[in-house]
Structure 1
Amino acid sequence: MPEHTDGGHRAHSAYDTYERLISLLESSRVDHRLIDHEPEGSTEAVSALRGHPASEAAKCLVLRVKVDRRTTRHVLAVVPGDRRVDLDAVRALFDARYVGFSDAETAERLARAVPGTVLPFSFDPGLEVVADPDVVARPRLYFNAARLDRSLLLSGADYERLAKPRIERIAAPAQV
């Protein structure tokens, strides 16, 4: 699928992002497994399809971090699938005035994937990855591979080595 331009930004297809991920894994010789399943983007539902607890999934959310009036950063927060992102912890981490979820268009442009398929990796210099320590500590880490119908399994240690995320406590218990 060809790239196209959109408002001056290079837009990437999910296929390009998937191919880039696979290329990274293969060139790094990281032990991983691809899992095909019915198309699903919800962490809980896709975890059930893959046959593992949601705690072994990487939930990936693009956040808008307003540091001050003129400075906005974008952060890819990666937390265990059975938890939620602690926005106050992220705000404190960046000494920011405001932290919230990015709008869908911005998230899709920066993550180079549609919602429900966002990787715990960033292929955009404008998107900083922050992962909770419980993510990289997982012996098995599952996430959608930039596609709704295919997931990836690798170790948290290999994920940390490849993605090089900033490791910070950003997960909170899921709200009931």
Structure 2
Amino acid sequence: MSVSPTLQNFLNRGDIPYRLIRHPYAETSLSSAIAAHVPARRMAKGVVLRDDEGFMMAVVPSDRRVDLHAINRQMGRVFSPAAQRDVKILFNDCAKGAVPPLAQAYNMKMIWDDHLAEEPDCYMEAGDHQDLLCLSQSTFKKVMTDSPHGLISH
């Protein structure tokens, strides 16, 4: 599959520079980081959340867990993890478990963890279980500029 069509369209429209890195098949973002020989703290994972108002994505390093309390406090809402069936519908051009953490490509709001801003580059799922996108730190920050961020993981 490589890059999901929706994500590819978003990257092309925004003229967003990236590198594509192929790696052995891996099921999770953490195992993808290991397979691609990428430090886990540089690998962003997207976790889809839901509340009464709709869906939002939290983007955190793959070696950390989403802190729902911190997100709920910062956003003034009460989120919980989205059901897998909803994620499958929202990201219908991606393999199960390979959600790209660029929610804007899917017209979804997002919040990202400040730990990702400390790294020289950021890796992320491209929509399958064998390809990663790599964005430079300046590109990552530019793409995330309109999204709220904070310390949302532990």
TM norm structure 2: 0.83
Q: Tell me if 1:149 matches 2:135.
A: no
Residues 1:56 and 1:92: Cα distance change in structure 2 (over 3 Å): same
1:68 alignment partner in structure 2 = none
2:89 alignment partner in structure 1 = 109
2:43 alignment partner in structure 1 = 57
CA contact 1:79–1:135 (8 Å) conserved in 2? yes
1:166 alignment partner in structure 2 = 147
2:110 alignment partner in structure 1 = 129
CA contact 1:138–1:155 (8 Å) conserved in 2? no
**How big is each residue's C-alpha offset from its partner over 1:80-126, in whole Å with a ceiling of 9 and x where there is no partner?**
11111110011112322x3211000112222343442111112333x
- Radius of gyration: which is bigger? 1
CA contact 1:137–1:157 (8 Å) conserved in 2? no
- How well do the aligned residues superpose, as a CA RMSD in angstroms? 2.3
CA contact 1:63–1:99 (8 Å) conserved in 2? yes
TM norm structure 1: 0.74
1:34 alignment partner in structure 2 = 20
Distance 1:57 1:22 in 2: 19
CA contact 2:43–2:62 (8 Å) conserved in 1? yes
Of Structure 1 and Structure 2, which has the larger fraction of its residues in strand?
A: 1
Distance 1:111 1:35 in 2: 21
Q: Tell me if 1:76 matches 2:57.
A: yes
1:93 alignment partner in structure 2 = 74
Q: State the shift of 1:161 in Å.
A: 1.9
Q: Secondary structure at the match of 2:58?
A: strand
Instruction: Tell me the amino acid that sits aligned with residue 35 of structure 2.
Output: L
Distance 1:37 1:29 in 2: 25
Higher relative contact order (CA 8 A, sep 6+): 2
CA contact 1:79–1:170 (8 Å) conserved in 2? no
Instruction: Report how many residues are paired.
Output: 152
Unaligned ranges ≥5, structure 1: 1-13, 66-70
Instruction: Tell me the amino acid that sits aligned with residue 78 of structure 1.
Output: V
Distance 1:151 1:58 in 2: 10
Unaligned ranges ≥5, structure 2: none
User: 1:8-23 maps to which residues of 2 (within 5 A)?
Assistant: 18-23=4-9
